[in-house]
A and B are shown apart, each in its own frame.
Chain A
Amino acid sequence: MDNQSIATLAIILGIGLAAVGPGIGMGIATAAAINAVARQPEVEGKARNMLIFGIVFMEVLVIYAIFAVFLAKYLFNLF
């Protein structure tokens, strides 16, 4: 493989790996929110708000990875 294809592969793997951690985190957070609502249905609105806030901070990690990829594209002129 030449350098170009190694770099492309690295970028694809990078986004995939970056999505793993937040994916697991979002699963745990959503499960906790569902448990909370099942236990105490009247906190649904509050639980949804907290869930959205929590998920937003996890999601931004993947977005940093996407941004890093675009940055790499411009800086090193890849693909």
Chain B
Amino acid sequence: MHEIKVGEHWVESIGPLQVHMDTVLTAWLAMIAVIIFGFVVTRKLDIVPDALQAFSETIMEFLEGMVKGEMGEKGLKHAPIISSLFLFILFANLEGQLPWRLYHLNQGEFASPTNDINTTLGLALVVSVYYIGAGIAEKGLGYFKHYFQPMWFMFPFNVLEDFTRPLSLSLRLFGNILAGELIILILITLIPIFAPVPMMLFELFVAFIQAYIFSALATSYIAAATAEAH
């Protein structure tokens, strides 16, 4: 029997910082998974791909196709960050369905690193810094002209948009993953055997959808920032 606790973490103080150790450790695990995946699929590259290479090429073509569809050929320089975000979020979300509940911590428990608002807000801030940076790199100071378009009095709304974008990006990912885990937790509390299994399978699907949504929205933000002004 589990107690239902929301947003409890294994907190350690390191110097002046309060660190959520479970989030940090599982985020490292996701990063290690991405690195190992990237290392394994790029060994023995061949003109005639084997199954693993074909699989990784499918993923990359899908992501590059998404970037190309939004920004055209010249947007391909933004493909690496979009792909990294996609792969990290995908592995981070899928990690939540590993059998972590067999291992008990004193405080909180291991789960997806994306069920912590700090992880998702970090990722969203990376995206907002990146798209403002990409806009400035593309157009110089002319980038800031778009704040006064289409009319000068739209300025407050355009500034507000820069704040609501990371807010909605981070809350969407966080809310989806946390809600999924809560529902599984409630089902486990009610009927521990077999009942949570369909929900867990659905969460695997949600993991892909959320990773796709996050990277697609990041792509469209970068596309909007680097687009030619009219």
Contacts and interface: CB of A to CB of B under 8 A. Distances in A.
B175 A56 contact: no
Interface in B172-196: 172, 174-176, 178-179
Interface string B143-179: 0000000000000000000000000100110111011
A56 B168 CA distance: 10
Contact of B172 (A60, A70, A73): A60
Contact of B171 (A53, A63, A73, A74): A63
Interface residues of B, number: 15
Interface string A48-79: 00001100100110111011001001100000
A52 B213 contact: yes
A66 B179 contact: yes
Interface class of chain A by DSSP: helix
Interface residues of A, number: 13
Contact of B179 (A53, A63, A64, A73): A63
Contacts of B213: 52, 56
A73 B7 CA distance: 11
Contacts of A53: 216
Contacts of A52: 209, 212-213, 216
Contacts of B105: none
Interface string A28-66: 000000000000000000000000110010011011101
Nearest to B217: A56
A2 B179 CA distance: 28
Contacts of A67: 171, 174-175
Interface of A: 52-53, 56, 59-60, 62-64, 66-67, 70, 73-74
14 contacts: A52-B213, A56-B217, A59-B176, A60-B168, A62-B175, A63-B174, A63-B175, A63-B179, A66-B178, A66-B179, A67-B174, A67-B175, A70-B6, A74-B7
Interface of B: 6-7, 168, 171-172, 174-176, 178-179, 209, 212-213, 216-217
